[in-house]
Amino acid sequence: MQLGMVGLGRMGANMTRRLMRGGHTMVVSDLSADAVKGIAGEGAVASSSLDDLVGKLNAPRAAWVMVPAGDPTEKTVQALVSTMQPGDTIIDGGNSNFKDDVRRSKLCAAKGVRYVDVGTSGGVWGLERGYCMMIGGPKETVQRLDPIFKTLAPGRGDIPRTPGRDKLAGTAENGYIHCGPSGSGHFVKMVHNGIEYGMMQAYAEGFDIFKNATSKELPEDIRYDLNLPDIAEVWRRGSVVSSWLLDLTAIALTENPTLSEDIGFVQDSGEGRGTIQAALEEVVPAEVLTAALYTRFRSRQDHTFADKVLSAMRQKFGGHVEPTKH
């Protein structure tokens, strides 16, 4: 298929590369002319503006927006919908709030343009591993775009099948699903990220306890000088707490057991707040996820080793670089 990609940052550029490897034709746009030139040198079709990008796409057009959530995405969608024609599709693959998707889908529908929201997980590793996608939007449009999603997704790989899954249809085993109508994709991704906060916090606090097992507050005979990289490594092999986040923690601790380069300032990208807001609106208790979010707020005031572990994980899975000052 042919697809436009707007935004060539950490994820947009690698998604473009993965799609080109899969045989798709990519027309690209970015605020950085150098970024466009670089990807064009790898086989993409360069465009000089959003109007130029739309002009180089064949009807029915499809453009994937991969820019920061909030105002940048809003302006990009507004610009695209003013240029596109009925039957074209705008795909938001960033971390937009699902309520914005509902509003934008109505704006697009009024002009006959389809709108699809795609919660995308995979970070800087997605080029090789693939991207897990949670998709919202009109069923027929999502089905038409299936070749794009199938190429970006990880596929079944070597993960054992869930018992009984062979009796169920769908694309979940391939790493992507159509969640439902507009906003549902980003809603599922939002809660995914809220859960991620809690999982990361659990690992971080556990390793903080290990680090402080030498505390002088403890009786000398129960002080333990533990090898944190080895603990992370052994847990990766057969433990019930193994996960990709633990894999990334093991990498970070092997590279620098004290995490001295991570100051422990931990950002939140908005999805955690959105998850807690959804829990409030639904009157659903979410104690762990709420505490994990508040811990990130607290990390900006004073830093523990747990904060350094969180910071290291964010850098590993998403290429996030925390500020050196606050």
**173 given a catalytic annotation:** no
User: 144: helix, coil or strand?
Assistant: helix
In this structure, the number of other CB atoms found within 10 A of the CB of residue 241 comes to 12
Nearest to 151 by CA among 167, 179, 174: 174
Q: Tell me how far apart the alpha carbons of residues 11 and 39 are, in angstroms, rounded to a whole number.
A: 13
Nearest to 96 by CA among 67, 121, 125, 123: 67
User: 67: helix, coil or strand?
Assistant: coil
Catalytic residue (one of 196, 271, 316, 322): 196
**196 given a catalytic annotation:** yes
Helix (H) or strand (E) holding 25: strand 25-29
41, 19 in Cβ contact below 8 A?
no
DSSP state of 80: H
Catalytic residue (one of 42, 74, 75, 189): 189
Which residues does the annotation mark as catalytic? 189, 196
